[in-house]
Structure 1
Amino acid sequence: MFQEPDYRENLSLMLSEVLHDIGVNERMVMRRRRNYMLKETMNNIIDRVIDLNVTEYFLGSQSEGTTTIGLGSDLDVLICDNNYNIIQDWSEWEQDKVNYLMIQNENTTPGYCLLQMLQHDAPLPVTVVPDEHHMNDRSRKVLYKNTVINGVIQGAVGHGPSLAEQGQPGFSDKDVVLAYSCKSWPQSASGWLNRQGIGRWPTQDMRRYAARTGCFVVPTGGKVSEYPELEWRISTSLAERCLMLHLNITQIRCYVLLKIILKSFLNPRDEINISSFMCKTVLLHCIENTEPSVWKDNNLFICLTYCLLKLHSCVQNDCCSHSTILENNLMAGQFTAETKHELSKNICKLIQNDGQWLLSINIDNLGCRLQVKLNRVPHGVYYFLSSLEIYEQVLTLGYIGIATNICAQFNTVLKHFQNENIRTIKPAVVKLMNFSNNGNRLEHAAFKLLAPFLYTTYGSFLALSGTGENNQVSPEALVWLSAGLNSDISSSRLKLVSEFYSTGDMEKAELILRQTEEQYYSNPVVPICGCWTKPIHTLTAEIKRICSEESESYIKHITAFCVRFIRKEINCIPHELQYEMFRSTQDEMINRDEYRDYWMNWAVVDSLPFLYFLQYKIYRHLQRHQDQRQALSKLIRTIETDENLGHRETALNILGQCLEQENRPQQALKCYLLSLQQRARNNAANFHICKLLSGLLVSQ
C-alpha cells in the first residue's frame, strides 16, 4: 500500500473514513457546536436575568466541534466583564464606566499592551494610584496590573491567563479566562483586515465580522516581557472562532490529526511544548496560502504533510506568527535549544515516514482502524466502537451536558434570589420572557428550556408571600406554579405537591403524585443534578437513541431534576427535609467553598426518592396503610438500585427518619451511617445519629 504510486490519495481517503467513523464528520461537528452554543446562550440569558454584567463565550475545540472522545479536549470559557471599557482612541471613552487606554510602544511585547487607567467622569488619565492592583510606570502613568486575576475563582488552578477547573470523569475540564472587551479591532492587526490569501480566505464577510467584534485583553504578559505584571495579551478570540466555524470538513480533520500528532508524538507525558493553538494557527496560515480546491478528502494526507512542513519551519525559526496579529510570535521564548532540536527531529521523522506512523496511533484506536481500512489486518481482529455507537455516546453526553447546565443555571437563579423579596423576582421573570418575543433562534430555544424553572420559583415565592383563604395556595401562585410544571418529568410537580402538603391539601397532593409517578415510568428517565459535577453511571440504549435522534427540546421528557428548596421555603417542605438546610457544623461552614457549596444551605433531593417520600407521608396522613408501606418499599428500592442519584445522602437521611417513625431504629441508624459514607462532612446524618441515640438512651 505505502509503495503504490497513488498511495497518498488512497491513504487520504481511508484516513478520512476513519476520522468520519470516530466522530469527525459534518453531522457530529454541527451537533457539538449546537450544544455548546446553546449552553453559552443559556448562561448569558441567566446572567442578564440576574443583572450580572458579564458575557460568556464558549471557545476552543469543544465548541468548534474539532475534537474526538480520545482527545478529551478542555472547554475554554472566556468571561468578559462588561463594566470595563478598553479603548484605543479617546473618542471611545464612556461615561461612568471603568475606562482603560490600551498602550503599545517599543517596549511592549508584540501582541500585548499596557492598560492606563482613566477617570470615570472625564476622558483624562488618572494621576494617583488607587490601590494595590495599579502602579506607576517610569513616566508616572497609572497602569493596571494583570495579577488582579489571582484568587478570582476559588478552587481553580492558575494556568497562564486562564483558571483551569478540574472536571470529574465523564466531564470536560474547563479553562476559564477572564477578559475585558475593546469594541474596536486592534490597531496592531489592522493589516489583517485588508489581507487576502491565495485561497481568497478569509473572506470579506469574515473580516467584516471580525472588525465588528473588536477584541479582548487577557491578564497575562509575554514570555519575554520586561513587564510581566503589567502586560495584557490582546485576544481576537471571536474572529478566530468565526474562522474555525467556516472550515470545511477536510480542514477540520486536518486540525484534529495535528492535535492527535501533538498528543502522540510531540508532547509526550502531557508536556506542552507545542500548543494546540499553535497548530490551529499553522493550519489557518496554510489555508490562507493554498487554493480551496486542495482541501478535499482525497488530499487529506498531503494537506497534513503541508501543515507539518509549516510547523517544522516555525520550530526551526522559533517563529509562529499569530493568525491575525502577525507581529505576535507565539513561539517567542517557548523552547530551550534542546527541546527545539528534539521537536525538529521528531517532526522530520513524521514527514519522511510517509504516513507509516499513523498505524501506531492509539488515540481513538486510529491506528488499528486504519489498518483495518487498508486491509493490513482482517476485520474482527480489533474491537472498537462503531461510528453509530460513538455518535450516540457523544450526543448523549452532550444532551446530559445541556440538562446539567439547565440545572446549574437554575441554581444560579436561586442563589441570587435566596435573600431577595418577591418584588425583585418579577422583573427577572419579565426579562426572561422578553427572549421569547425578541430573541434569536438560539435564545428562543434557551428560553423554552429555562422559563419553566423560573415560573416555578416565582410561583413558590408568591405562595410564600401569603396563602389564600382556608390556608390554600393563592390562585396567582397556582397559575405560575402550573406554568412551570413541564420543566422536566418531575421536579416542578413535586415542588407543587410540597406546597399542597404544607397547606394540608392531601387529596390534590396525592393526585399529582400519582400522575407524576405514571409519567416517570412512561419514558426512560435520567436523574440530573447541577449542584456538583458527577458522572452518569448507567444510560439505557433507549436514552442513547433518544439523545441521538431528538432535538434538545425533548430534554424535559427524559430528565428528572433534583428538587431544590432555599431556606426561604422552609415552611413549604416536610420537617424531615428541613434538617438538610442546617447540615453543616460551625467548623464545616468555615471550611466550605462558597463558590461550589452554596447549595448546602438548601434542602436538595433527587426527584424519585422525594416522590416516594411524599407518598409515604401523604398516605400516612390519609391512613392508607397499605399504600404507605408500598411507598416506603419503593423508596428503599430506589436508593438501593438507582446509580445516578446526585443526593443519595439526603435520600438516606429522609429514609432513616421514615424508619424511625416505623419504630425501626436500628435500620434507621444504618441509613444514617450509609449516608455518612456518601458524604462524610456537611451531612445532616450527624445530627440524626445524635438525636436517635439520645432518644434511645432516654427511653432506656
Structure 2
Amino acid sequence: MFQEPDYRENLSLMLSQVLDDIGVNESIVIRRRRMNMLTETMNYITNRLINQNLTVYYLGSQSEGTTTIGLHSDSDILICDYGYNIIQDWSEWEHCKTNYLMIQDENTTPGYCFLQLLRHDEPFPATVIPDRHHITDRSGRILLKNTKSNGIIPGSVDHGPSNAIQGQPGIVDKDHVLAYPCKSWPQSASCWLERQGIGRWPTQDMRRYAASTGCFVVATGSKVGVYPELEWRISTSLAERCLMSNLNITQIRCYVLLKIILKSFLNPQAEINISSFMCKTVLLHCIENTEQSIWKNNNLFTCLTYCLLELHACVQNDCCSHFIVQENNLMAGQFTAEKKHDLLKYITELIQSDGNGLLIIDIDDLGQRLQVKLNMVPHGGYNFQSLLEIHKNLMIQTYVNIANIAGQTGECHKFVLYYLHNKSIMTIKQSVSKLMTFRDNGNRFQHAAFKILAPFIFTTYGSVLASSSIGENNQVSPEALVWLSAGLNSDISSSRLKLASVFYSTGNMEKAELILIHTEQQYYSYPLLPICNCLHKQIHVTAEFMWVCGEQSEDCIKHITAFCVRFMHQEINCVPRELQYEMFRSTQDDMIHRDKYRDYWMNWAVVDSLPFLFFLQYKIYSHLQKHQDQQQALSKLIRIIVTDKNLEHRETAFNILGQCMEQENTHQQALNCYLLSLQLRARNNAAKFHICKLFSRILAGR
C-alpha cells in the first residue's frame, strides 16, 4: 500500500512545505506547548498557595500545538477538584474524604459510570442524601448528578485563577469542564496497557506513564445513555496528552490536515457531525497499526489517505472506538442515517479525488498555496499572505501567548492577594515558604513559573513587613528591604514603585527620587504592555510591542510589561495618604453593587503604574522643594490620564490628580477631577469622600 507513485511523494513533500509555511512546524509546536504548560503550571502553583485543592489542565489543540491561525481552535480547560476521591476498589477508600465509588453496570453507557456516594467515616455506602446534587436510584444507591458542574462560574474566586481570561479580545476562547480524579487506571482500559500494534507504538514507557496518571471522571453524560444526568465520562486526558506529545511532525501535520478537512467539508456552517477528537482517535489507531517508518514528510499524503479510509470505515460502521477505553464508541448517537449518507459521500469523494480535494481548501489559503507549490499556477496567480506576513501573524499569536502568560501572572497575583488580604504576617510567610518549594523541588515548568510569579509575591511580603515596621518606629526593617529587593524585577515598574512608595512613606525622598528616575527611563526604553486584569478591558497594543514580544520567550515579561500597583490593607503604612482612600471606597450601599467574583480588588488601593509614578514624583519634588520638577510631574500626570488608552483605573488617577490640585489650591479643578472620576465609576469610588472633604475645606476657608 505504501509503495506510491512519484506524484504522491511530490504531493506529500509540497503539502509538508505548505504546512510548514503556515506554522505547523516543530518550532511553533514546541512554543505553543510550552506557553500552555507554563500557564497550567502558574495556575497549579497559585492554587497551592491559596490552599485550593484544584488543578487546572490545559488540553486540546492549543496545548498540543496541533492548530493553525485559520482553524481558530479553542482551549479546553479541565478543572479537577482533588478534594474528592473517586475509587474503583474499596481498598482505595480514604478516611475523612468525600469518596465516590465508580459504578459500571447494565444501566451505564460503555465508557461512562455512575458515582455512588460513600460514607466519610467508614468504607460503606452513604444512606443520607446530602444535597440537591444527589439522588437515590432504584437500588437505594445515592448517586451524584453531573449537573453539579453547573456551579462552575467562569472567573469566580471559588475556582481560582483558572478562568482568568475567558472571552478576552485577542485570547483564545476557553471551554471549561469539571472533573474529579481517580488515582488508579480505569479497569475498562486495562487491556490497553498490554495491547501491542504493528508499529510497537505507544512504547512501554508511554504506557507506564499513562497508567501512572490514573484517570478522571468528567461531568458529561452520554447522548445515548438511559440516565444522562447521572453519567460521568471516564477520561484519560493526561495519557492522551502524553501520546500527542510523542508524535512526530508528520503525524502532527496529518492530524492538522484532518481537522482542516473536517472544518472545510464534513462540518460545514459550524455543524458538529464528526469531532476533532474523533479525528485524533482515528489518527492514533492508524499510527498504532502501521510501521513507524511510513510517517515521514514524503509520505504525508498517503498517511492522510489511510486516515480518511479509517474514518470512512468508522462512519460506515457507526463506530469509532476510543483509543484507550475501547468500549466507548465516540460515534454512538452522533448523526442520523441521512447525515451518515452525506458524510460517507464526502469522505469517498475526498479519497477518490487523489489530492484534488485539497486544492480548493480556503482555510489558511491551503489550496492556493499547494497549487503554487505544485506549479499548477504562477506564483503571482493568487493573492494570499506572503511568508513574511504569515511569520508576522505567527508572531502576533506569539504575542497572544506572551500576553496570555502576562495576563495570567496578573490574575494569579490577584488571587494570591485575595487569599492573603487581612491575613497575618505569619500566614504570608508560610505562603512564601510554600512558594520556595517550587524553586527547590519543582520541575522545569515549575521553575519557569516560579521565576515569573515569585517577584510579585516577594514584593508583597516585603511591603507588608515594611508597613509593620513603619507602624512601629517609622523605619523599614532590613528583612523588608531584602524581600522588596528580591522582587524588583517582577516587571518594569510595579515593584519598583512599591519600593519608592516605601521610601516616600518614611521620608527618604532622595532614594525614592532615584528609583522613580530609573523607572521612568526604563518605562520609555521599550514598547511596553500595561497589565492589570482588574476590569478585563481590551488592551491596545502597538505593532512594535508585538514584534518585540514575538521574538522573545516568556522571560521578556519582566522587560516589556508594566503591571498595576496593588496595596492590601496590611500595606497601608507604605501607601501615600492620598491613595489610602481607595481602600475605603465603598459605602454599605456600594457593596450591594459589587460583583463578588470580580470586584474584590476594590478592598485594596490599586493604581496604574504610570499615573502613580508621576504622582509620586509630584509629592517627592514638593518635599524636596524642586518646584519646576514638581510642575513637570503634574503636567505628565495630567497628560497620561487624558491620553493613555490603556489605563484601567482612570477614576483612581483622577482622584489622586484632584488631590494634587487641592495642594495647588485650585479647588475648582480639583472638583472637576472628582466629578470626572464619578462619571467613570458612579459607585465604589473614593471621589465621593474627596468631594465632601473638599467642600468641608472650602467652607472652613482653608
Deviation for aligned residue 1:312: 2.5
Could you tell me which residue of structure 2 aligns to residue 325 of structure 1?
325
Deviations along 1:300-359, one digit per CA (max 9) or x if unpaired, are: 222222222222222232221111111101111121333333333333333333333333
Query: Residues 175 and 463 from structure 1, CA distance in 2 versus in 1: closer, same or farther, beyond 3 angstroms?
Result: same
Instruction: Say if 1:500 and 1:509, in contact at 8 Å, map to a contact too.
Output: yes
Give the corresponding residue for 1:444. 447
Q: Which of 580, 583, 589 pairs up with 1:581?
A: 583
Q: Distance in 1 between matches of 2:200 and 2:444?
A: 30
Q: Give the aligned partner of residue 58 of structure 1.
A: 58
What corresponds to 2:534 in structure 1?
531
Gaps of at least 5 residues in structure 1 are 157-161
1:111-510 aligned at under 5 Å gives the runs 111-154=111-154, 166-375=166-375, 376-379=377-380, 381-384=382-385, 386=388, 387-467=390-470, 471-510=474-513
Counterpart code for 1:619: Y
Q: Is the 8 A contact 1:563 1:607 kept in 2?
A: yes
Q: More deviation in 655-664 or 256-265? A: 655-664
Instruction: Give the distance between the partners of 2:11 and 2:682, measured in 1 at CA.
Output: 55
Instruction: Specify the SS of the correspondent of 1:485.
Output: coil
For residues 397 and 427 of structure 2, the distance between their equivalents in structure 1, rounded to whole angstroms, comes to 40
CA distance in structure 1 between the aligned counterparts of 2:300 and 2:110, rounded to whole angstroms: 34
Paired residues of 2:54 and 2:81 also in contact (CA < 8 A): yes
Distance 1:264 1:620, change over 3 A: farther
Q: How many Å separate the matches in 1 of 2:683 and 2:321?
A: 51
Task: Name 2:27's counterpart in structure 1.
Answer: 27
Residue 111 of structure 1: CA displacement?
0.3
Question: Within 2, Cα distance between the matches of 1:65 and 1:33?
Answer: 6
Which secondary structure does the structure 2 equivalent of 1:399 belong to? Answer: helix
Contact 1:577 1:654 in 2 (8 A): yes
Q: Which moved more, 1:606-615 or 1:306-315?
A: 306-315
What whole-Å deviation, never above 9, does each CA across 1:258-295 have from its counterpart, x for those lacking one? Answer: 22222222223322222211111111112112221221
**Gap change, CA 1:303 and 1:639, over 3 Å in 2:** farther
Unaligned runs of 5+ in 2: 157-161
Distance 1:340 1:670 in 2: 68
**Inter-partner Cα distance in structure 1 for 2:231 and 2:164:** 21
| Separation of aligned partners in 2, 1:7 and 1:678 | 65
Higher deviation after alignment, 603-612 or 390-399: 390-399
- Counterparts of 1:268 and 1:694 in 2: how far apart (Å)? 67
Distance 1:519 1:609 in 2: 15
Secondary structure, in 3 states, of the residue corresponding to 1:423?
A: helix
Distance in 2 between residues matched to 1:621 and 1:45, nearest whole Å: 42
Q: Aligned equivalents of 1:345 and 1:661: distance in 2?
A: 79
Query: CA separation in 1, counterparts of 2:210 and 2:477?
Result: 52
1:418 Cα deviation (Å)? 0.5
Q: Distance in 1 between matches of 2:306 and 2:283?
A: 9
Q: Which amino acid aligns with 1:196?
A: Q
1:656 deviates by: 4.3
Aligned-residue offset at 1:429: 0.8
**Is the CA contact (8 Å cut-off) linking 2:586 and 2:683 kept in structure 1?**
yes
> Which amino acid counterpart does residue 308 of structure 1 have in structure 2?
L
Cα distance between partner residues in 2 of 1:369 and 1:329: 37
Please state whether the residue corresponding to 2:153 is helix, strand or coil.
Answer: coil
| Structure 1 residue corresponding to 2:609, chosen from 564, 583, 607 | 607
Q: Distance in 1 between matches of 2:581 and 2:623?
A: 21
Deviations along 1:84-115, one digit per CA (max 9) or x if unpaired, are 11111111112222111111111110000111
Instruction: List per-residue Cα deviations over 1:621-657 (Å, max 9, x = no partner).
Output: 3322211121122223334444444434433443344
Please show how residues 35-114 of structure 1 align to structure 2 within 5 Å.
35-114=35-114
Name the SS of the counterpart of 1:256 in structure 2: helix
Whole-Å separation in 2 of the counterparts to 1:644 and 1:370: 42
C-alpha change, 1:293 and 1:5, in structure 2 (3 Å) is closer
Contact 2:641-2:654 at 8 Å conserved across structures: yes
In 2 relative to 1, CA 346–593 (structure 1 residues): closer, same or farther, beyond 3 Å? farther
Report how many residues are paired: 691
3-state DSSP class of the match of 1:515? helix
CA contact (8 A) 1:459 1:480 kept: yes
Q: Decide whether aligned partners of structure 1 residues 603 and 262 sit closer, same or farther in structure 2, where only a CA change above 3 A counts.
A: farther
**2-side partners of 1:53 and 1:370: how far apart?**
49
Deviates further, 51-60 or 469-478: 469-478
Aligned letter for 1:462? L
Do 2:167 and 2:173's aligned partners in 1 also have CA atoms closer than 8 Å?
Answer: yes
Report the 3-state secondary structure (helix = DSSP H, G, I; strand = E; otherwise coil) of the residue aligned with 2:151.
coil
1:365 and 1:600, CA in 2 relative to 1: closer, same or farther beyond 3 A?
A: farther
C-alpha distance in 2 between matches for 1:683 and 1:382: 53
Kept after mapping to 2: 8 A contact 1:164/1:175: no
Distance 1:686 1:21, change over 3 A: farther
**Which stretch of structure 1 is more off in the superposition, 308-317 or 104-113?**
308-317
Whole-angstrom CA distance in 2 between matches of 1:582 and 1:390 = 45
Q: CA deviation at 1:380?
A: 7.9
Distance 1:469 1:672, change over 3 A: closer
Distance 1:76 1:615, change over 3 A: same
State yes or no: 1:631 paired with 2:601. no
Name the amino acid aligned to 2:111: G
Check conservation: 2:101, 2:116, Cα contact below 8 A.
yes
Structure 2: distance between partners of 1:547 and 1:678: 32
CA distance in 2, matches of 1:74, 1:677: 37
- Tell me which residue corresponds to 1:658: 660
How far does residue 549 in structure 1 lie from its aligned partner after superposition? Answer: 4.1
Q: Which amino acid aligns with 1:489?
A: I
Instruction: Encode CA deviations 1:192-243: one digit per residue, 9 max, x unaligned.
Output: 1111212211111111111111100111211111112211110000010001
Partner secondary structure for residue 58 of structure 2: strand
Note closer, same or farther for the CA distance 1:469–1:567 as it changes in structure 2 (3 Å cut): closer
Q: CA 1:378/1:488 → structure 2, altered by over 3 Å: closer, same or farther?
A: same
CA-CA distance at 1:168 after TM superposition: 1.8
Q: Note the C-alpha offset of 1:127.
A: 2.2
Separation in structure 2 between the aligned mates of residue 514 and residue 56 of structure 1, nearest angstrom: 41
**TM-score under structure 2 normalisation?**
0.91
Q: What amino acid does structure 1 have at the position aligned with 2:557?
A: I
Deviation at 1:506, TM superposition (A): 2.1
Q: Which segment is superposed worse, 284-293 or 674-683?
A: 674-683
Cα distance in 1 between the residues matched to 2:36 and 2:433: 26
Question: What is the TM-score normalised by the length of structure 1?
Answer: 0.91
Query: C-alpha separation between the residues in 2 aligned to 1:64 and 1:587?
Result: 48
